[in-house]
Structure 1
Amino acid sequence: MSLQQANQLDEEFPTYKSEFAIPTFETLGISPPSVTNGPTLTPSTESIYLCGNSLGLMPKQTKTAILAELTAWEHRAVESHFNHPSSTPWVDIDLPLLPLVAPIVGAKENEVAVMGSLTANLNALLIHFYKPKGKRTKILFEKQAFPSDFYAFLNLVKLFGYDESHLIQVGVEKGKTHLTTEQIKRFVDENIDELALVCFPGIQYYTGQLFDIAEITRYIKEKSSDIKVGWDLAHAVGNVPLHLHDWNVDFAAWCSYKYLNSGPGGIAGIYVHEHYTRDNTTGHFQPRLAGWWGNNSDERFKMLEKFDPINSALSYRMSNPSVIDTVAVRSSLELFAKVGGVETLRKKSIKLTQFLQDLLTSSKYYIKQDDTDGSKLGFKILTPLNPSERGCQLSILFQPHFDDKEKNVMERVNKYLHDRGIICDERRPDVIRLAPLPLYNTFTETYHASQRLFEALDAIEQNHTLLK
């Protein structure tokens, strides 16, 4: 893998980074170091941002969209709910997003809603779909679940009067770095008569593993129609193609501030298969956490003591959505539509992540997974090496480990990268997650980032006595 190859690939696959605000050395507050191998760095040099798996960059049009709503607030205040000076009235501000977000997750428009935050939405869906009955009381999920998900599952069973024994966790086998579909199927088979609900991440946040959502859902559904299957899509939405309706997924929730670039803590979304809302009527609906924004819009402002749920996923909304958050995510969703959607971006993403993988595995510092010598200086890749089993993230585990931050390899590598304007995500004690995004990252950037990583390890190797 060479810089020439990177340039050739950049000619083949377009980048849309001009649509985004890219932090520079100056805006990041970093003094550009002098370099001997690579482009000259100045205060105006753009950073290499490989952290979109944590927070996506801001589309430039987002500021315009938000300012328009601030102007509406300034000029018409409450009247903008029904008489907006320039755009969608606030009372319907989220509705134009439905045709934009439905293709992102592979759903019908009546199966999605833009609302709330990820964990709040997940809790609302869990309390609705978890129906313990008889022996069927248990929830199956992964051992390394994101803490919010674990807390949600734990408190859910406790709310129903059960203890932690009603949580079944699938852990990574010794010597492995990620779960397998066969493992999950085995756990399903072993607990088939006691499972009420199964919920996994679409992509595992720490390792970057992409779960086989279609196959896992199909397998469970064929085993028992009584088991509800849901997915936390925080790291999958906007990253990989999804077909939730066709896969017969019961429910899903996601955030939008990572790959959907909605801004920190931006408004999230849900998916509920249409067969759960098709028969919504005043006298016949499945109870859920509810509020007035899930009620029939024709009746909403009559303030009736009657719940008349909308015949779609919109019936799970509780409150009116934040206007600012909604137009922020809309500006990014419009970009996805403009560039051809996730399916188109995925083609570049596979090439881009593979390019990074090839650079890393060609390094003298690359250590294979089955090498158990933890004293070697270098790194392992925790993420599956098969492109079909991951999104755009590679999780790099550095070794050896030292409790002293000043000596620890990962901490030193991360500082070296950051000082050179390469922004990535560290996960203590020893992992750096690199996420080259097809929307705004290039092959050339990825090449330079890998070279700086190798330089950091060179520097550590040359001064290796300090680590002993």
Structure 2
Amino acid sequence: MDVATAEAQALRLDEADPGHRHLFHVPPADGGEHPESAYLAGNSLGLQPRATRDELLADLDDWRRLGVEGHVEAGRPWLPYHELLTAPAARLVGARPAETVVMNSLTVNLHLLMVSFYRPAGERTRIVIEDTAFPSDSYAVRSQARFHGLDPDATVVRLKPRPGTDTLGTEDVLDFLAREGHTVALLMLGGVNYLTGELMDIPAITAAGRAAGAVVGWDLAHAAGNVPLSLHDWDVDFAAWCSYKYLNSGPGALGGVFVHERHLGNPDLPRFEGWWSTEAATRFEMTPESRPPATADAWQISNPPIFAMGPVRTSLELFDSIGMPALRERSLRLTRWLERLLEEVTADRPLQVVTPRDPARRGCQLSVRVGAGNAAELTKRLRHEHGVVADAREPDIVRFAPVPLYSTYHDCWRAAAALAATVGQYSTKGQPR
């Protein structure tokens, strides 16, 4: 497909399948001929919803008007503010409200959860992650091993793809659990791998991990808001996610936590406690001992940061109004369109898409391995010369994420055309692709 034909088709697809771009602020292009960026980096930081500013300013105005009385008299009173996020967050991840709480940031939440759920004993001491886990997860589990007096090099198992493959298959995880599951205290993988965009088979892996006697937790940083989730029905022990990627809640936004209801109210489960981990009805009796509720709120420690919660609430309202099933269907269409374009671009260039081709095994991200190796330099050129915003993961991966909320088919075309123009100026047909 030549460049003009592909662009015309992209514009027709956008007319038929427009998405929700009008609800977001799209940054201006830093280069190229288009006024707006082709923003395909929502897997790193989502765009700002147009509603966020006004709703955040309304919360700020309550502080200006009311001072301390805003805790009970604000338009959205601050004392129970976090409860406004609970039900929509639960719906987003397929949980029950009692199992869900929005708090802290991702790695802090993983540590708080591992306090409860990583309990090495006897030969069952190992923590299993994927070899391409995000570095902060690696740091977290290694530090947990050290905290328990264990050697992290011996305790942390990093599962690798089979030779000749780029992604860790479900069968690889299941085979490991069948052989060595009796040594595993905690299995904690990424639901969608940050590097390759691979979607793991969460229910199958969870069932195998629990059958092997391990606790199974998930890092859903790249899964929440990207793919449909059913954490309660899948019997996941715990999960945590961030809200600044697909959930569009701003840089460093608050994360979320899921704890399966079978663990709620268990007095034998160790847990750190603080001001907000006691039941709300008796919080101001100021007793010296906590009375934790039989909900995920028991894992809270500090009072919620109201102005950080506002953007999360605004975003969750968008997901509630549109629905993950509709977003997933559009994601599949957009990602397949980008894949078709990249198939032509990579055919005669030193590029390789490493994300699984099966739509059921990926979210909306496609990762491209750059043969020359300098991914960071390539993404700079895409942005400054063509107005295409992607991101690099060194040394050789460029990630493109057509987010169904605000990305367009034309964005995908711009990305593919810019990649073709930047990596070898012409195709074998003599035309930029």
TM-score by length of 1: 0.87
Cα distance, 1:234 vs structure 2: 0.2
Letter in 2 for 1:455: A
Aligned to 2:431: none
How do residues 34-433 of structure 1 correspond to structure 2 at under 5 angstroms?
40-41=33-34, 45-84=35-74, 87-164=75-152, 165-224=154-213, 227-277=214-264, 279=265, 284=267, 286-339=269-322, 341-363=323-345, 365-366=346-347, 377-401=349-373, 408=374, 411-412=377-378, 414-433=380-399
Deviations 1:310-366 (A, max 9, x none): 111111111111111111111111111121x11110001011001101111123x33
Aligned to 2:422: 456
| Count of aligned pairs | 423
Find the partner of 2:412 among 446, 450, 453: 446
Contact 1:399 1:410 in 2 (8 A): no
Gaps of 5+ in 1: 34-39, 368-376, 402-407, 463-468
Letter in 2 for 1:22: V
Partner SS state of residue 227, structure 2 = coil
Whether 1:17 aligns to 2:7 is no
Partner SS state of residue 291, structure 2 = coil
Deviations 1:368-421 (A, max 9, x none): xxxxxxxxx4200111111111100001111133xxxxxx47624641443321
Contact 2:375 2:392 in 1 (8 A): no
Cα distance, 1:61 vs structure 2: 0.6
2: CA distance, partners of 1:321 / 1:249: 26
Cα distance, 1:167 vs structure 2: 1.4
2: CA distance, partners of 1:217 / 1:16: 34
Partner SS state of residue 179, structure 1 = coil
Letter in 2 for 1:444: H
Deviations 1:270-292 (A, max 9, x none): 00001111x35xxx352201112
Partner SS state of residue 58, structure 1 = coil
Partner SS state of residue 405, structure 2 = coil
2: CA distance, partners of 1:217 / 1:378: 37
- Two-structure CA RMSD over aligned residues (Å): 1.7
Letter in 2 for 1:217: T
2: CA distance, partners of 1:216 / 1:435: 25
1: CA distance, partners of 2:255 / 2:409: 30
Moved more, 187-196 or 112-121: 187-196
Contact 2:379 2:389 in 1 (8 A): no
2: CA distance, partners of 1:203 / 1:342: 16
Gaps of 5+ in 2: 429-433
2: CA distance, partners of 1:275 / 1:397: 42
Deviations 1:212-245 (A, max 9, x none): 0011011222333xx1000000000000000000
TM-score by length of 2: 0.94
- Pick closer, same or farther for the CA change 1:262–1:431 going to 2, 3 Å: same
Letter in 1 for 2:123: K
